[in-house]
Amino acid sequence: MASSTSASDLGPGTALLLLAPLTVLMAAILLYPLGVTVWTSVNNGGFTLSAYADLAQSTLFLKVLRNTFEIAIGGTLMSLVIGYPVAMHLAAQPPTRRTAYLIMVMLPFWTSILVKSFALVAVFGNQGLVNQLLGFLSGGAIKLPMMFNRVGVILGMLNFLLPFMILSILGSLLSLDRRLILAAETMGAGPLRIFWRITLPLSMPGMIAGILINVTLSIGMYITPALLGGRQDMMVANLVDFYTRQTLDWTAASATAVVLLVLSGLLVALLGRVRGAAGLSEAGA
Amino acid sequence: MTVTTAPAMVELQGVSKRYADVDALHPVDLTIAKGEFVTLLGPSGSGKSTLLNLIAGMVAPSSGRIVIDGRDATTLPTNQRGLGMVFQNYALMPHMTVFENIAFPLQVRKVPKAEIRRRVGAVLDLIQLGHVANRRPRELSGGQQQRISLARCIVYNPALILMDEPLGALDKKLREQMQLEIKRLHAELGITMLYVTHDQDEALTMSDRIVLMNGGRIEQQGTPDTLYFRPETVFSAEFIGSSNLLAGTLEAGPDGAPVLRTALGTFPVPAPDRPIERGAKAMLLVRPENMTLQRGGDTVHVTGRIEDSILLGGVVRHFVRCADGSTIIVQELNQPGRVDAERGHEVAAGWLPQHGRLLPAPPAG
Amino acid sequence: MNELFGSSRAARRITSTLAWLCYLFLLVPSLIVIPISFGNPGQIEFPPRQLTLDLYRQFFTDPAWWGSMVQSLLVAVATTLLTLLLAVPAAYALARSRLPGRRGLQGLFMMPMLVPVIVLGLGLYLQFSSWGLLDTTAGIILAHIMLTTPYIMVSVLSGLKHSDIALETVAAIMGASRVTIFFRVVLPQLKAAIAVGALFAFLMSLDEVVVAYFLTGTQTMTLPVKMFSSIRWELTPVLAAVSTLLTVLSLLIALGIIALQRKTEASS
Ligand SMILES: Nc1ncnc2c1ncn2[C@@H]1O[C@H](COP(=O)(O)OP(=O)(O)O)[C@@H](O)[C@H]1O
Ligand SMILES: [Mg+2]
């Protein structure tokens, strides 16, 4: 027996036997359909990139791509701006209270996205809670359209993205050595300087990971724009669905899906560089 | 009592700190003179850090008044107290270079750029670390990091530098080297320093004055010599240096001079600093180095059997087991050709009566 | 006093206000469906004018609704069991062998987590339409096995990492066979990790919309797909009752997972 194998190691034969069923399934249900998608996008009676050329010419595709970037980046930046102070608030709590507040942050994470979408309509829709309140306060004068438009998509997006951003930044803040802040205080630094020179730079890794996770998650978003957005707010994922079901143009649908796959692949790779493998599993969870 | 003639740098008046269910610090009065090197010494949990953090403003007092440099600082925010502080883990900013770390307090004080460069260069020279200015703290050894954190304090000339066990993370050799370096900087710069340690040797080496703490109270304060030779309580005697203590009852001898009746005999004792009633319980302290081994002899002595003799380099320590089961330690200078009494041999451990010190018996419990 | 920006009170008050607004925004959508679900069946109302169980009655008497729930539960249970059966041995082999290429295999098993679901939905749609698996329960279960594999994988691999390998070595030295070791030594240590992965997979399958939307039809429609089209086209108040049921279930599962994780942390 080789000296590097220990008694608890499985032999290659047993290992293969245990791995084979899942590997076959994943090849058939994951790799094969991805292959079919790529193949459909370049096969029009023979190999051609015409589907991609068509997309590049399509005003619809370009508009949807712009929407996607606007919503993903806009939503992510808002999530960063809102999430940062929340993470600071959490970091400043004693551990038991922090756990209690974290449950509130994690609740949307556990709730079905359909439940949240329905609830957001009930809260922010034209007959929703917020508009009822506004109407009551203003004597019926004010009604804000916040659903089935860009605002609705952003609200839904934020509800989905914020927990990831907050947790990511919180991780950085909790590992920050509080004595650095005490030291800065004894040297006479005020709160703003401490924030800019110490807290912010030292939480940069958490912020970067949070931003990448948010952009990765939002770029492939399908349900939120479909349920909370208007016709004008279609994102790439919705376009894939549109080509598949409305126009039955599977070639265009596949090409669009491949574009999305490449985009999110790049983001995942970037995230992997920033966070190592741990970041990858978090991005999907 | 220490009489301080120099103007006070810090004055604590009845300052105390109570957490939910612990009195971390009972009401304390303490004055630190300008330019003094004062050490807070005491076992872990005795309230040293609490006292330091009260002065730094990181903890709000439950009662009392804190005056720093003539100004009431009781409720002043930390960043307006004009202090410097050195932390045990150095607390250097990991994302800044050594230069930027030292420049930080100067930037806070809006010092012009050229001036910052000059002053940072000067302190780096002072601690002989000019060559690491552009490195990050984590690229430096522990000793270097601690010197940088000292430099970061010195650079802006705070009137008072606080240090909480700053050398605790260093190994013994480096620690001794740094003790001397801090002492040198204190002598050269004349900054008032308040230093916390639980290490008696460190306190004896460095301090102008030691404040010995016990259970959230000041047990005794004074120069290192005072604390060593004139401890006022059993706690002080035992915490600093090693000690032999004989418990007994104070009585008047045949000539009227005080004697202590103990289980091992009755011994003449010097008059205590604070009067102790005749008939009261008291303790006699004799430092091991003030005892000698002898066969008979006419000085005051106890008898017992040699249990062990250990060599500590320049000195030898003998452990003498007495009749009542207690152990007396005798410390003698090591001489070439020394002959130790054999284990189990009967010996007498004697001392000069004037080297003994009478202490009140510690309160029960 | 040692806050992240020093001891400034103003800064602390501002962050705390902001934080509470955010907590509210995150919390309310998950919980507001509960009171709405006890309202009148006529329209979505908050606060409800009177408390009734009419919406629940509507849900359980409409076969389109409860049928889709039964279908969802069936798919979720089957998915969970089958994924466990495939993924637990695979995870064990990954953790306890020196097979070349096992990192690549692990990457393959984690991949569904990283690919946008819409891409998987389209790919499966194209593939299943030629394989005749569209609108079949088997098809949606297969797809969900693929989607939930990474979550069970992560949980079991971390369980294996924390389990004591020395116990397996000792058992082997005492002469136990591979099979005995797996069932008597490894599995008992992995119970909690497997349970966590299973609960997670169950919830994932139960809540999954996008792939199910592509693969199911009128015969095999799952609850999320039914909800999706209902929110999109009619926005009936029955949705509040469904949502409440789902939320309660999610919360129970979340609590179960948290309790299990606490237990494993305490024991290790
Ligand atoms: N933040 C706190 N909360 C509760 N008790 C504390 C706190 N800080 C210190 N204490 C208690 O106060 C006492 C003195 O602590 P400290 O000043 O840190 O002692 P030292 O520095 O001498 O080791 C200890 O009993 C400690 O447990
Ligand atoms: Mg301390």
Find out whether the beta carbon of B17 lies less than 6 Å from any atom of ligand 1: no
Structural domain boundaries, residue C13: 1-32
- Is position C46 within any domain? no
- Is position B3 within any domain? no
CB of C29 within 8 Å of any CB in chain A?
Answer: yes
Q: Are residues C16 and C100 in the same domain?
A: no
- pLDDT tens, residue by residue, C176-234: 888 888 888 889 889 999 999 999 999 999 999 999 999 999 889 999 999 999 999 88
Q: With contact defined as beta carbons under 8 Å apart, do B10 and B194 qualify?
A: yes
Between strands B244-252 and B71-72, the pairing is: unpaired
Range B312-330 average pLDDT: 91
Alpha carbon distance B335, A259 (integer Å): 89
pLDDT of residue A127: 83
Would you list the DSSP string of C46-108? SS-SS--SHHHHHHHH-HHHHHHHHHHHHHHHHHHHHHHHHHHHHHHHHHHB--TTHHHHHHH
Question: How many whole angstroms from its chain centre is CA C6?
Answer: 41
Q: Tokens 């349970």 belong to which residue?
A: C195
Q: Are residues C86 and C206 in the same domain?
A: yes
Name the average pLDDT for chain C. 90
- Is position B2 within any domain? no
Instruction: Check C7 against B60: CB less than 8 A apart.
Output: no
Alpha carbon distance A112, A17 (integer Å): 37
Residue B150 sits in a domain whose CATH number is: 3.40.50.300
Please tell me the total count of domains within chain A: 1
- Is position A32 within any domain? no
Nearest ligand 1 atom, CA B40: 22
Nearest to A186 among B78, B92, B95 (CB): B78
Q: Are residues C195 and C261 in the same domain?
A: yes
Alpha carbon distance B195, B207 (integer Å): 8
Helical segments of C117-164, H only? 117-131, 137-162
- Is residue B118 pLDDT above 90, yes or no? yes
Alpha carbon distance B195, B357 (integer Å): 29
Sign of CA dihedral C20, C21, C25, C31: positive
> Strand, helix or coil at C9?
helix
Structural domain boundaries, residue A222: 56-279
- pLDDT tens, residue by residue, A31-48: 999 999 999 999 988 899
pLDDT of residue B330: 93
- pLDDT tens, residue by residue, C96-116: 888 888 899 999 999 999 999
Alpha carbon distance B58, B76 (integer Å): 10
- Which of B170, B204, B234 is the last residue in one of the domains? B234
Distance in Å, CA B21 to ligand 1 centroid: 11
Alpha carbon distance C207, B163 (integer Å): 57
- Is residue C172 pLDDT above 80, yes or no? no
CB of A66 within 8 Å of any CB in chain C?
Answer: no
Q: Are residues B201 and B294 in the same domain?
A: no
Q: With contact defined as beta carbons under 8 Å apart, do C43 and C238 qualify?
A: no
B199 band by pLDDT with thresholds 50, 70 and 90: very high
Q: With contact defined as beta carbons under 8 Å apart, do B47 and B216 qualify?
A: yes
> Strand, helix or coil at A43?
strand
- Is residue C15 pLDDT above 90, yes or no? no
Q: Which ligand is in closest contact with the Cα of B43?
A: 1
Instruction: Check A25 against C146: CB less than 8 A apart.
Output: yes
- Is position C57 within any domain? no
A280 band by pLDDT with thresholds 50, 70 and 90: very low
* DSSP letter (8 states) at residue C6: E
- Is position A27 within any domain? no
Kindly state the helix (H) or strand (E) to which residue C5 belongs, with its residue range.
Answer: strand C4-7
Taking CA atoms, what residue in C is nearest to B57? Answer: C1
Q: Are residues B172 and B271 in the same domain?
A: no
Instruction: Supply angle C-alpha B56, B62, B64, rounded to 5.
Output: 75
- pLDDT tens, residue by residue, C119-160: 999 999 999 999 999 999 999 999 999 999 999 999 999 999
Listed range (A6-10, A115-119, C253-257) with the worst mean pLDDT: A6-10
Q: Are residues C85 and C206 in the same domain?
A: yes
Q: With contact defined as beta carbons under 8 Å apart, do C177 and C44 qualify?
A: no
Q: Which ligand is in closest contact with the Cα of B20?
A: 1
Q: How far apart are the first and last CA of chain C?
A: 34
Give the full edge-to-edge strand order of the sheet including B244-252: B265-268, B258-262, B244-252, B281-286, B357-360
| Residue % of chain C over a pLDDT of 90 | 65
- Is position C37 within any domain? no
- Is residue C173 pLDDT above 90, yes or no? no
Q: Are residues C2 and C74 in the same domain?
A: no
More confident position, B287 or C45: B287
* DSSP letter (8 states) at residue A47: B
Nearest ligand 1 atom, CA B47: 17
- Is position C78 within any domain? yes
Range C45-51 average pLDDT: 82
Residue nearest to atom 25 of ligand 1 (CA): B45
Find out whether the beta carbon of B79 lies less than 6 Å from any atom of ligand 1: no
The tokens describing A44, both together, are 């029009």
- Is position B71 within any domain? yes
Nearest ligand 1 atom, CA B213: 22
Find out whether the beta carbon of B243 lies less than 6 Å from any atom of ligand 1: no
pLDDT of residue C1: 36
Range B268-293 average pLDDT: 89
pLDDT of residue B41: 97
Bridge partners of residue B37, in order along the sequence: B193
Q: Are residues B164 and B280 in the same domain?
A: no
Alpha carbon distance A191, A210 (integer Å): 24
Listed range (A8-12, A205-209, B189-193, B336-340) with the worst mean pLDDT: A8-12
Residues 6 or more apart in contact with residue B135 via CB below 8 angstroms: B97, B98
- pLDDT tens, residue by residue, A215-256: 999 999 999 999 999 989 999 999 999 999 999 999 999 999
Q: Are residues C209 and C253 in the same domain?
A: yes
Cα dist from B276 to B234, B260, B300, C174, whole Å: 14, 12, 22, 74
Residue nearest to atom 11 of ligand 1 (CA): B24
pLDDT of residue A70: 96
Number of neighbours of residue B67 by Cβ within 10 angstroms: 16
- Is position B21 within any domain? yes
Q: Are residues B204 and B150 in the same domain?
A: yes
Please tell me the total count of domains within chain C: 2
Kindly state the helix (H) or strand (E) to which residue C179 belongs, with its residue range.
Answer: helix C178-180
Q: Are residues B137 and B268 in the same domain?
A: no
Alpha carbon distance B147, C170 (integer Å): 51
Alpha carbon distance A250, A263 (integer Å): 20
Kindly state the helix (H) or strand (E) to which residue C4 belongs, with its residue range.
Answer: strand C4-7
Residue of B17, B22, B164 best suited for mutating to test ligand 1, as the one with most atoms within 8 Å of CB:
B22
Residue A84 sits in a domain whose CATH number is: 1.10.3720.10
Cβ-based contacts under 8 A for chains A and B = 59
Cα dist from B247 to A3, B289, B326, whole Å: 67, 19, 11
Distance in Å, CA A174 to ligand 2 centroid: 22
- Is residue A182 pLDDT above 50, yes or no? yes
Sign of CA dihedral C147, C152, C155, C156: negative
Contacts of C11 in chain B (CB under 8 A): none
- Is residue C259 pLDDT above 70, yes or no? yes
- Is residue A5 pLDDT above 60, yes or no? no
- The three state secondary structure string of chain B is CCCCCCCEEEEEEEEEEEECCEEEEEEEEEEEECCCEEEEECCCCCCHHHHHHHHHCCCCCCEEEEEECCEECCCCCHHHCCEEEECCCCCCCCCCCHHHHHHHHHHHCCCCHHHHHHHHHHHHHHCCCHHHCCCCHHHCCHHHHHHHHHHHHHCCCCCEEEEECCCCCCCHHHHHHHHHHHHHHHHHHCCEEEEEECCHHHHHHHCCEEEEEECCEEEEEECHHHHHHCCCCHHHHHHCCCCEEEEEEEEECCCCCEEEEECCEEEECCCCCCCCCCCCEEEEEECHHHCEEECCCCCEEEEEEEEEEEECCCEEEEEEEECCCCEEEEEEECCCCCCCCCCCCEEEEEECHHHCEEEECCCCC
- Which of B206, B234, B262 is the last residue in one of the domains? B234
| φ and ψ at residue B153, rounded to 5 degrees | -80, -45
Residues 6 or more apart in contact with residue B159 via CB below 8 angstroms: B9, B34, B68, B69, B82, B83, B191, B192
Q: Are residues C9 and C128 in the same domain?
A: no
- pLDDT tens, residue by residue, C227-245: 999 999 888 899 999 999 9
- Is position B271 within any domain? yes
The tokens describing A31, both together, are 């790799």
B274 band by pLDDT with thresholds 50, 70 and 90: confident
B298 band by pLDDT with thresholds 50, 70 and 90: low
- Is position C111 within any domain? yes
Distance in Å, CA B214 to ligand 1 centroid: 12
Range B305-327 average pLDDT: 91
pLDDT of residue C175: 74
- Is residue A7 pLDDT above 60, yes or no? no
Question: How many whole angstroms from its chain centre is CA C75?
Answer: 12
- Is residue B2 pLDDT above 70, yes or no? no
Residue of B17, B41, B50 best suited for mutating to test ligand 1, as the one with most atoms within 8 Å of CB:
B50
Q: With contact defined as beta carbons under 8 Å apart, do B301 and B294 qualify?
A: yes
- Is position A146 within any domain? yes
* Buried b / exposed e along A241-264 (16+ C-beta atoms within 10 A): bbbbeeeeebbbbbbbbbbbbebb
- Is residue B6 pLDDT above 80, yes or no? no
pLDDT of residue B365: 56
The tokens describing B101, both together, are 């770390």
Q: How far apart are the first and last CA of chain B?
A: 27
Q: With contact defined as beta carbons under 8 Å apart, do C249 and A115 qualify?
A: no
- Is residue A2 pLDDT above 60, yes or no? no
C4 band by pLDDT with thresholds 50, 70 and 90: low
Instruction: Check C2 against B58: CB less than 8 A apart.
Output: yes
Contacts of B80 in chain A (CB under 8 A): 188
Alpha carbon distance B214, B236 (integer Å): 9
Q: Which amino acid is at C17?
A: T
Of B116, B78, B89, nearest in space to B100 by CA: B116
> Strand, helix or coil at A2?
coil
Structural domain boundaries, residue B45: 8-234
Helix pair A95-110, A150-174: axis angle to 10 deg: 150
Please tell me the total count of domains within chain B: 2
Would you list the DSSP string of C231-244? HHHT--THHHHHHH
Q: With contact defined as beta carbons under 8 Å apart, do C115 and C146 qualify?
A: no
Number of neighbours of residue A16 by Cβ within 10 angstroms: 14
| pTM of the complete model | 0.82
Distance in Å, CA C249 to ligand 2 centroid: 49
The tokens describing C125, both together, are 């749609």
CB of A226 within 8 Å of any CB in chain C?
Answer: yes
- Which of B181, B201, B234 is the last residue in one of the domains? B234
